Structure 1
């Protein structure tokens, strides 16, 4: 518990208890199966919040996401993390890339889209990956780049350009996913 301490604290103030009350609605009884509860909360986020692409900076608070009923993958991840933290779980935000060559999952704008999801620490099982945007458990198609307590600490791409606007037209980021053996041979 010493190591998980800060990861058990909610990142956003829930002074009215709205998030905790929302989260409690997923608790089936006492006792409740841990994995089933976490899956239900993850599915609940996707079931009650509509996915939207949001290019603006910053992340919505969990209360704002619930009130709006819409959010991006980072909003889904933050809502899920603070929800499970309200129940005492240690959780963290993960930022990276969503590998979706068929482009059939939410949050995908190509085979290497930036994406945010969550990990929850479950005693005796370790860190379990939850992607509430896509209602998935496990990270077979997720490529982590940054893991932190707060979403502000996991921004995958940030920066600015100072200079003549005519010198900078745009920036593109490309992510190639390939088998390890192919990666080694391409570096030679």
Structure 2
């Protein structure tokens, strides 16, 4: 077992006092056989009342209400303790119909996975297959679907330069391919678009990645260190939802701590809400994130 503490602050500054709508926070860990939340506390400025909601994707959402407060600053500080059970990400057995690519889901699987499958090309993803045919050695057939997905994962890692972007919004897959750069969100969206065009159910995952510091205090494998992370899960019958991290070119393991999943990443931005003023207001966001292992 590994126990980690996550200290996460998101701060917004405005050039004049504003009022606020209720906000939704997707920060509470999604518990499973690996992840167990031990403690969660939240402080806000201005002070708020809170209540818990479970959304249609079974994410645990914390809603905050600021009432009539007016302020030039909005701040959320979460302190989370999580226990992680060490797990081998390759310890699974696929169903016979899901071992190779191409594959087809059984009818009951297709019905259940409808939100994560798509027919045709989604808007902003017209160049995805062209890129795929050049980036993957054998794009039409593979005897091992995990190796096939791992090759796609590695191709995005090798071809797209990581660029941190704290501002709202996600690039389309075509924009990411044109710029050859993007945030972890952008790379996840690119892989999801490709998987769906290949007939594979894929979903967006937002959360935290604990990158244990190596000797000297450096972080060895996480290109997105210091910010929340995003990756992809693909549904493989017999194994369930398996995670792939194109930002770092690896399969996910017990260091990945999900907080939200969705068929559309726009629905699970970590902090969601609005501010109000009669005139245009400029704003600036700051993020502080520290994840450390507890004794």
1:98 corresponds in structure 2 to: 209
Quote the offset at 1:35 in angstroms.
0.6
Q: 1:114 aligns with which of 228, 249, 262?
A: 228
Q: Distance in 2 between matches of 1:43 and 1:134?
A: 8
Residue matched to 1:12: 122
| Shift of residue 143, structure 1, vs aligned partner | 0.8
Deviations 1:91-148 (A, max 9, x none): 0000011112423321002xxx311001000122211010110111023211100000
The equivalent residue for 1:66 is: 177
Q: Give runs of aligned pairs for residues 4-43 of structure 1, distance below 5 A.
A: 4-9=113-118, 12-13=122-123, 17-25=126-134, 26=136, 28=138, 29-43=140-154
Structure 1 or 2: more strand by fraction? 2
Q: Which has the larger radius of gyration?
A: 2
CA RMSD of aligned residues (A): 2.7
Contact 1:12 1:61 in 2 (8 A): no
State which of 115, 118, 136 in structure 1 corresponds to 2:250: 136
Q: Is the 8 A contact 1:4 1:90 kept in 2?
A: yes
Tell me the distance in 2 between the aligned counterparts of 1:74 and 1:172.
Answer: 16
| Gap change, CA 1:80 and 1:170, over 3 Å in 2 | closer
The corresponding residue for 2:61 is none
Distance 1:157 1:71 in 2: 20
**Secondary structure of the structure 1 residue equivalent to 2:123:** coil
Contact 1:27/1:37 (CA < 8 Å) preserved in 2?
no
1:49 aligns with 2:152: no
- Mapped to 1, the partners of 2:182 and 2:164 lie a distance apart of 8
Quick one: higher RCO (CA 8 Å, sep 6+), 1 or 2? 2
Structure 1: gaps (5+ residues): 164-168, 183-188
Distance 2:128 2:141 in 1: 20
CA 1:123 to 1:98, structure 2 compared with 1: closer, same or farther past 3 Å? same
Greater share of helix: 1
Q: CA deviation at 1:90?
A: 0.3
Q: Say which is worse superposed, 149-158 or 40-49, in terms of deviation.
A: 149-158
> How many residue pairs end up in the alignment?
172
Deviation per residue, 1:154-187 (Å, 9 max, x gap) = 2112345669xxxxx98665565556xx7xxxxx
> Using the alignment, how far apart are the partners of 2:133 and 2:286 within structure 1?
44
Aligned partners of 1:117 and 1:132 also within 8 Å: yes
Structure 2 length-normalised TM? 0.52
